[in-house]
Chains A and B, each alone.
Chain A
Amino acid sequence: MHITQGQFSFLPPLTDDEIRAQVDYAISKGWALSIEWTHDPHPRNVYWEMWGHPMFEIKDGAAIIFDLAACRKACPNAYIKINAFDNTRGVESMVMSYIVNRPDIEPGFHLIRQEAAGRMVRYTTKPYSTDFPVDTKQES
């Protein structure tokens, strides 16, 4: 299974040069950049762990590539994404987000159905990865 969250999950994995080009685009727009990682890719897991603080008023994209390398080294088997944030009034939200690292094996999700009255079904999406608990703050 291949999780397709983010801007570029349908393309071949981005090389570091390609990541740098996206980072430079965000910098040219004046956006802040951040790196986040997780072992729980549930589609509603909004808060991945932050790898350091978001970088505001960043001048050189090399800083992000450097931090990404450190994050990958510490969490090689995690999902890692790079985000860009626009603080313009009326936006004040994420404007880019793409996955730059994945575990070797992506175990996917179990769809649990709870049958209720009538034909009503209550759905729960459960990531298999959480069957093997790891410290969410620390790579196992």
Chain B
Amino acid sequence: MNTQSDARITDTKERYKGGVLKYKQMGYWRPDYEPKDTDFICLFRITPQEGVDPEEAAAAVAGESSTATWTVVWTDLLTAHEDYQAKAYRLDTVPNTGAGTDTEAQYFAYIAYDIALFEEGSIANVTASLIGNVFSFKPLKAARLEDIRIPTAYVKTFKGPPTGIIVERERLDKYGRPLLGATMKPKLGLSGKNYGRVVYEGLSGGLDFTKDDENINSQPFMHWRDRFLFCMEAVNKAQANTGEIKGHYLNITAATMEDMYERAEFARDLGSNIIMVDLVIGWTAIQSISRWSRENDMILHMHRAGHGTYTRQKNHGVSFRVIAKWLRLAGVDHLHAGTAVGKLEGDPMTVQGYYNVCRDSVTKQDLARGIFFDQDWADLNKVMPVASGGIHAGQIHQLLHLFGDDVVLQFGGGTIGHPAGIQAGAIANRVGIEAMVKARNEGKDILNEGPDILRTAAKGCKPLEQALEIWKDVSFNYTSTDTPDFVTTPTAT
């Protein structure tokens, strides 16, 4: 699509004579560019405004997320500007968009960034560049950061998850099965003492973890110190009842870092093995509390509160796979990554892609799961994904099939809503998981035989029988809004 008029201008005098040039003319569209191993590569899905040349739109994204401003500035000449310019080097039409479809034309724009553009070990800096100005840019109707390849050299500037899957399991002494949790309900209104009762019943029944919900901080009905004290009494009593290590994710999310540190320190002093924060605290706060967690042997649970505002719509925002990659670098140990079968958004293959980003040593390109790039994690700790939201015992075979052992399965309503009580709910889920893991290891086809395996296990376990009965018809079969789009011909990236 290059014409004489919008081709890259290489003559310095022409290029810097002042005025307004097209982004392509300024050199942000470089189809001949071969990304270096040390480059960041971003894949943006862009929807140009009517009449905007898609190559120019891609060049504009490259420009606005790196060095460009709207007009030519001579001060570029004081810099090694060609290195610092991001380079849009490839443009594909998104399948099933544009002429002859119901969706206006969208394009996958591949853009490479020199590693020198980013401060080492700072997600705040990475995001300020890559999703800073560009998403409000007028010539684009919409833009979405679909995936990112982070150069290994940059990965090594992060410490990553303070604990990681392997060490978490060693601390908990729990291996070879999904961990089992539940979020305390009702999420608002319980006093500290009543809240601790739910924790105690759940953990004594057989849960490994219980959890504060995202909006439990320090409200009038339950101040944070009360919650921490009652919850730790519950945790310790449940440990003594079962001989197992137990934990409760104490949510330390608060207005200021000073408040968060105060709460984290109290959790530590009470002997808690895990704390929790919400995604809404922001990247810098996440990296700070990750560092604190590393210094204090604390598992750090991340609740992805708020992400749906920018991850869910296909045409605009940031894909959750990118958020998951940034969070692994920033350093969290647990991350809510979807259930596929529960009440919250998530196409099964897409969700598996998020899990792989959390758990792989090297993530390979896997277009069907929405993974566009190979990503070497350089031995960074692995993040334990958490499946939470509208799941119940009748889905255990599907969950184990989809996600394997390294996952926390959180049945909140599916534990506390059990007709025979919270302990019964916990027992039902634990028996279901253990029976399913045992059957899988024995070579059974759990996806197909799962319901039979659960029914057989329920013969010796009344609570499981009751759980299967009460929730037997509950499923959440809605169309996913976020599914992978890709060209089936494999392409080198």
Contacts of B435 in A (CB 8 A): 11
B209 shortest CB reach to chain A, Å? 14
Q: Are A3 and B242 in contact (CB under 8 A)?
A: yes
In the complex, chain B residues 211-234 whose Cβ is within 8 Å of any chain A Cβ: 229, 232-233
Q: Are A10 and B434 in contact (CB under 8 A)?
A: yes
Mask of A67-110 contacts with B, CB within 8 angstroms, 1/0: 00000000000000001100001111111111000000000111
In the bound complex, CA of A91 to CA of B406 (Å): 12
Q: Are A90 and B382 in contact (CB under 8 A)?
A: yes
Contacts of B166 in A (CB 8 A): 90-93
Q: Are A89 and B243 in contact (CB under 8 A)?
A: no
Closest to B177 in A: A7
Mask of B405-446 contacts with A, CB within 8 angstroms, 1/0: 100000000000000000000010011001101100111000
B403 shortest CB reach to chain A, Å? 16
Q: Are B173 and A5 in contact (CB under 8 A)?
A: yes
Q: Are B233 and A94 in contact (CB under 8 A)?
A: no
A52 at the interface (CB under 8 A from B): no
A140 at the interface (CB under 8 A from B): no
In the bound complex, CA of A94 to CA of B406 (Å): 13
A90 shortest CB reach to chain B, Å? 4
Q: Are B441 and A21 in contact (CB under 8 A)?
A: yes
Partner of A7, one of B170, B176, B427: B176
In the bound complex, CA of A8 to CA of B173 (Å): 13
In the bound complex, CA of A4 to CA of B206 (Å): 8
B189 at the interface (CB under 8 A from A): no
Partner of B361, one of A4, A90, A122, A125: A90
Q: Are A111 and B243 in contact (CB under 8 A)?
A: no
In the complex, chain A residues 1-35 whose Cβ is within 8 Å of any chain B Cβ: 1, 3-5, 7-12, 18, 21-22, 25
B269 at the interface (CB under 8 A from A): yes
B187 at the interface (CB under 8 A from A): no
Partner of B244, one of A3, A8, A18, A93: A3
Q: Are A41 and B243 in contact (CB under 8 A)?
A: yes
Q: Are A111 and B240 in contact (CB under 8 A)?
A: yes
Partner of A5, one of B233, B236, B241, B243: B243
Contacts of B170 in A (CB 8 A): 93-94
Closest to B430 in A: A10
In the bound complex, CA of A7 to CA of B244 (Å): 12
A123-B271 contact, Cβ under 8 Å, with A10-B431, A90-B382, A111-B236: yes
Q: Are B434 and A7 in contact (CB under 8 A)?
A: yes
Contacts of B438 in A (CB 8 A): 7-8, 11, 18, 22
Closest to B233 in A: A121
B379 at the interface (CB under 8 A from A): yes
Q: Are A120 and B270 in contact (CB under 8 A)?
A: yes
Partner of B173, one of A43, A90, A119: A43
A28 shortest CB reach to chain B, Å? 9
A4-B244 contact, Cβ under 8 Å, with A25-B442, A125-B239: yes
Residue of B169, B237, B242, B441 with highest tally of chain A CB at under 10 A: B441
Contacts of A3 in B (CB 8 A): 242-244
In the complex, chain B residues 155-183 whose Cβ is within 8 Å of any chain A Cβ: 166, 169-170, 173, 175-177
Q: Are A96 and B175 in contact (CB under 8 A)?
A: yes
B119 shortest CB reach to chain A, Å? 28
In the bound complex, CA of A110 to CA of B240 (Å): 7
Q: Are A12 and B240 in contact (CB under 8 A)?
A: no
Contacts of A92 in B (CB 8 A): 166
Q: Are A97 and B361 in contact (CB under 8 A)?
A: no
A39 shortest CB reach to chain B, Å? 13
Closest to B236 in A: A123
Contacts of A98 in B (CB 8 A): 176
Mask of B335-376 contacts with A, CB within 8 angstroms, 1/0: 000000000000000000000000001000000000000000
Contacts of A89 in B (CB 8 A): 361, 379
Contacts of A123 in B (CB 8 A): 232, 236, 271
Q: Are B175 and A11 in contact (CB under 8 A)?
A: no
B100 at the interface (CB under 8 A from A): no
A53 at the interface (CB under 8 A from B): no
B191 shortest CB reach to chain A, Å? 15
In the bound complex, CA of A81 to CA of B236 (Å): 24
A14 shortest CB reach to chain B, Å? 8
In the bound complex, CA of A11 to CA of B427 (Å): 11
Closest to A4 in B: B242
B185 shortest CB reach to chain A, Å? 23
Complex A-B, nearest 7 residue pairs according to Cβ-Cβ distance, in ascending order:
A3-B243, A96-B176, A111-B240, A25-B441, A123-B236, A90-B361, A109-B240
Task: Please list 9 pairs of residues, one from A and one from B, whose beta carbons are closer than 8 Å in the complex, sorted by A's number.
Answer: A4-B244, A10-B430, A22-B442, A43-B245, A44-B173, A46-B173, A97-B175, A109-B241, A121-B229
Besides A8-B437, A11-B431, 19 new A-B residue pairs in contact (Cβ under 8 A), listed by A number: A3-B242, A4-B243, A7-B175, A8-B438, A10-B427, A10-B434, A11-B438, A22-B438, A41-B243, A44-B173, A84-B176, A91-B166, A93-B175, A97-B176, A108-B241, A111-B240, A122-B271, A123-B236, A125-B240
